[in-house]
Structure 1
Amino acid sequence: MAAIRVLATLAVKGAFAELAARFQAADGAQVEADFAPTLALLVRLRRGEAADVVILTREGLSEMLAEHRVAAASYVDLARSWVGIAVKAGRTHPDISSEAALRTALMQARAVAYSRIGASGILFAELIVRLGIAHVVNAHAVVIPQGLTAERLLTGEADLAVQQISELKQVAGVEIVGPIPRELQVPAVFSAGCMMATDNVVPAEQFLKFLRSGEAAAVLREAGLEP
């Protein structure tokens, strides 16, 4: 049986090894995944990169549906994720419980790490503009092209890291302070679908069915995602 090839957004990487292992134990099919921010994955898919299943932001998957690259009947919303803030383990947790507290924490930080692309980076860049502190934060920000922002806490480059909570949890040695106040953000929704061009239709559909199961939901929740 051919392995199921998945292209998935970084936000689900923390849950994926366990999901793949449980699916293989139950179904016998192997799952091979490659992870990148949704915007990067969209570029690769449009260049013709092959996959059986894709897991993207809802907006990204909608684009793939509109371009007839993903089978509409296979579409499923898997989980939502909130953007949060992390610090290096053992460091003081700043108060981010309100808009005013968050503004103070961001302005007092020596450096804040966030990503240039991806749902969290886009949201944060817009948020600091709305808060009127973009010029202060960006003067000392560590803005990475893509990847896990919390890694910059371990190197000492930043005091605070901003990203989806599920992505922050993928880095050992950091602690989640909490989500950015929910009234200041809209959660990202991650959705999955089967590629129209796949020759691996039945296993791909079985994997999507598993991702909608209660067993998969428990794994997603443990990884910081809300099924």
Structure 2
Amino acid sequence: MTEHATAVAALTPAIADGPQTIKVIISGGFAAVYRDMLPEFERSTGISVETGSGASEGAGPKTIRHQLANGTKADVVILSREGLHKLNEDGRIRAGSEAGLATAPLAAAVRTGSRKPDIGNDVALRKALIDAGQVVAPSSTSGQYVRDKVFPRLNLPDTVRLTLEARGTEAAEALRAGKANLSIGPTSELVQESGIEVVGLLPPDLQLVQTFTAAIVSDAQAPEAAKRLIDFLSLDSDILLAAIKRAGMERPRG
């Protein structure tokens, strides 16, 4: 058992009924770190994990909120804090179970091999967006922010078109396929995609730093096992901190 797994075992009491299966629904923001760490969690605890995916916010059947409202069962959700707030409003989250796992700022990306524009300040970002013409973002928290805050603030001409795709993976595919020339999204989603390259972070005054948070669903079938997973993802072990860093993320401050 690794040092990380040993620490979790000490933090969380053993499950009385032995190994269980838990169900997780996760958005794209923390997905790379989760995939890196999940095998160790299953190996060290004997708990099996079934993983589904969904958008933190937005409309339509691909959102976590829609899935839970329409009968999809889950023990744990991992999504942006903004999306979690709406699940709390729906009464779908167990009180006191939330844990902030990592933060991710917004960045821009281009197709691999394309020229990387300067986006270091508002003027440079505005020029990059105008030159790109076609821009894509996920329709979740980050895309809504780009649409409602970034574009109006930069007073962009009508020649700049923003397309919101249901998921970050679909936004990356649109960029790879040439349907867009620039993509904006959380660093943690952009760095895990092949065929695209991160240009840099959005300027500080246009930045949105999202906190990706885990919580236990109110009607969870295996709440004790769910808590063990959240504890596992919350420890500051070297292996987990390295995975967070690889994803362009940081632990929440304060």
Tell me whether the two structures share a fold, i.e. TM-score over 0.5.
yes
What 5-or-longer segments of structure 1 have no aligned partner? none
Q: Deviations over 1:142-180 (max 9, x none)?
A: 432334222222212222111111111121121111111
Contact 2:130 2:159 in 1 (8 A): yes
What 5-or-longer segments of structure 2 have no aligned partner? 1-18, 58-62
How much does 1:69 deviate? 1.9
Q: Indicate which of 132, 144, 147 corresponds to 2:155.
A: 132
Aligned to 1:19: 37
Confirm or deny that 1:222 pairs with 2:246.
yes
Aligned to 2:166: 145
What is the number of residues matched between the two proteins?
Answer: 224
How much does 1:11 deviate? 1.3
- Structure 2 Cα separation of the partners of residues 134 and 49 of structure 1: 42
Confirm or deny that 1:93 pairs with 2:111.
no
Contact 2:133 2:159 in 1 (8 A): no
Contact 2:30 2:102 in 1 (8 A): no
Compared with structure 1, are the counterparts of its residues 99 and 201 closer, same or farther at alpha carbon in structure 2 (3 Å cutoff)? same
Q: Indicate which of 212, 215, 218 corresponds to 1:196.
A: 218
Aligned to 1:154: 176
Contact 1:64 1:70 in 2 (8 A): yes
- Structure 1 Cα separation of the partners of residues 221 and 55 of structure 2: 25
Contact 1:20 1:30 in 2 (8 A): no
Compared with structure 1, are the counterparts of its residues 60 and 144 closer, same or farther at alpha carbon in structure 2 (3 Å cutoff)? closer
SS class of match (2:159): helix
Compared with structure 1, are the counterparts of its residues 124 and 134 closer, same or farther at alpha carbon in structure 2 (3 Å cutoff)? farther
Confirm or deny that 1:82 pairs with 2:105.
yes
Aligned to 2:68: 45
Confirm or deny that 1:168 pairs with 2:178.
no
